[in-house]
Amino acid sequence: MTAQGKLRDSGDEDNFIDYSLAATKVPNLRTDDYQSYFADITAGAVQYGGRTALCDYLEPDQDESPEVIAYAITKYGNSTGSNPDDYDRTLIANTTIDVNSSGRPWSFQYCTEYGWF
């Protein structure tokens, strides 16, 4: 995904990240925020007991290109509730209460209680 991030940050419009974000509410999500979102899909699957389901989902694409596999990972993430909106710094900084978004409260919790940021 780092190569795709470099393409995107250099202004190359032919990159997987822009393609992946095109149909979301955050098509201009920062590259580093997108990479956190993407990494959390697989980390969340492993951490919360979905490793086998993720592997089963990806198995048909095991011989495909990295872009096809990355697309499959984002589709899996979307199907399990991972949302790139929750990683957008501008949305997280917004103080409007949105009962349908967990990004802001989760960021507050791990920033204040755990000190990760």
- The CB density around residue 26, as the number of other CB atoms within 10 Å, is 18
Whether 75 maps to a domain, the answer reads yes
Q: What distance in Å separates the CA atoms of residue 16 and residue 20, rounded to the nearest whole number?
A: 6
Say what the pLDDT of residue 117 is.
Answer: 47
Whether 93 maps to a domain, the answer reads no
pLDDT in tens, 19-72: 888 888 888 889 998 998 999 999 999 998 999 999 999 999 999 998 899 889
Whether 115 maps to a domain, the answer reads no
Residue 100 has pLDDT above 80, yes or no: no
The better pLDDT of the pair 93, 28 is held by 28
Estimate the crossing angle of helix 2-9 against helix 31-47, to 10 degrees: 160
* Look-up of token digits 């967990």: 102
Residue 12's SS3 state is: coil
Domain interval for residue 80 = 2-84
Residue 17, token pair as written in the block:
């990240």
